[in-house]
Amino acid sequence: MQDLSFEAQMGFITARILVQLPDGRSSIGTGFLFLVPSPDGSGTTKTMLISNRHVFVDPKAKITISFNRKKSDGTPDYGNTIDFIQDNFEDIYYSHPDQTVDLACVNVSQISHTDAYFQVIGVEFFKHEDFSGVHPGEKVFFVGYPENRYDIINNLPLIRTGTIASIPSIDFNGKGQIVLDAQVFQGSSGSPVFCAKDGNYFLAGVISETMIRHAQLQTMNTNLAQVGVSQILGLGIVVKQRHVKELLSLVQF
């Protein structure tokens, strides 16, 4: 019987994003699926793939998003992939209006009409927005494709853990961010970060940057020609949940 716990399903809410630029450069990162309800209460929904603005790079470029297919019994057919490819995704792309907030998303609602196997999270994960009762040292999970490492045969991401390093109720350096004590590498950009509170998981935010020695911050530019960041400090920057809500409020129905 399939394990329906959130821990078991966590790997199916993400997808590997590949963006190919006309000059031959490529960006690889992580995106996660969020079911956005229509604000008019009609029951209409859209499935959005959320990541960082720097992962999507240029909405006029070519994007490829990969999922496993779904078998007739509703379970994933590991390694039998289906790719969604679009040469220009400007018409389905939304970016956060504040250029200092490294978040963007694309409308991938079309996958609901295919045999792609995936899971989504929804507004029920928008809890503890002010992080009250959440403390430094609490464990988090984040899901993604660090340095493009993943289970290639089964097309599955890596699920990793860390702890909250900053005081989460306070904006780190005055920005809507928290700091993780975790090894955060290129390809982890766009990874959702989950924290458990009162027996339920909530979305803490989205990984955006890593800290390196002798420098302030480095966005995890996933250009394949630049893979390999030396002297990673073991601390990552997470864009807080509230900015995800702001981004998704832009989605048009």
DSSP 235-252: EEEEEEHHHHHHHHTT--
Handedness of CA 140, 142, 146, 152 (dihedral sign): positive
pLDDT tens, residue by residue, 152-169: 999 999 999 999 999 999
For residue 225, what pLDDT is reported? 43
Q: What is the mean pLDDT of residues 77-99?
A: 96
Q: Look over the chain and give the mean of its residue pLDDT values, rounded to a whole number.
A: 90
Name the pTM for this structure: 0.91
Do the domains at 6-123 and 124-245 have one common CATH topology?
yes
Tell me if 104 sits within 8 A of 144, measured CB to CB.
no
Structure confidence at residue 110 (pLDDT)? 95
Position 2 scores a pLDDT of 63
Q: Kindly tell me if the per-residue pLDDT of 243 is higher than 80.
A: yes
Q: Above pLDDT 70, what percent of the chain?
A: 90
Q: Per-domain residue ranges for the chain? A: 6-123, 124-245
Residue 232 has pLDDT above 90, yes or no: no
Indicate the pLDDT class of residue 230, thresholds 50, 70 and 90.
Answer: low
pLDDT score, position 229 = 45
Sort 89 into a burial class: Cβ within 10 Å, 0-12 / 13-18 / 19+: buried
Q: What is the mean pLDDT of residues 18-45?
A: 94
Nearest CA to 157 out of 142, 145, 140 is that of 145
CATH number for the domain running over 6-123:
2.40.10
124-139 pLDDT per residue, tens: 999 999 999 999 999 9
User: Rounded CA gap, 23 and 155, in Å?
Assistant: 27
Hey, is 53 helix, strand or coil? helix
How confident is the model at residue 185, as a pLDDT? Answer: 77
Residue 103 tokens, joined: 């978040």
Q: Which residue from 140, 111, 147 is spatially nearest to 206, judged by alpha carbons?
A: 140
211 — pLDDT class (breaks 50, 70, 90): confident
Looking at the domain 124-245, which fold is it?
Thrombin, subunit H (2.40.10)
**CA neighbor of 85 nearest in space, from 106, 55, 104:** 106
pLDDT band at 147 (very low <50, low <70, confident <90, very high): confident
Higher pLDDT, 4 or 215: 4
Higher pLDDT, 26 or 233: 26
Q: What is the pLDDT of residue 79?
A: 95
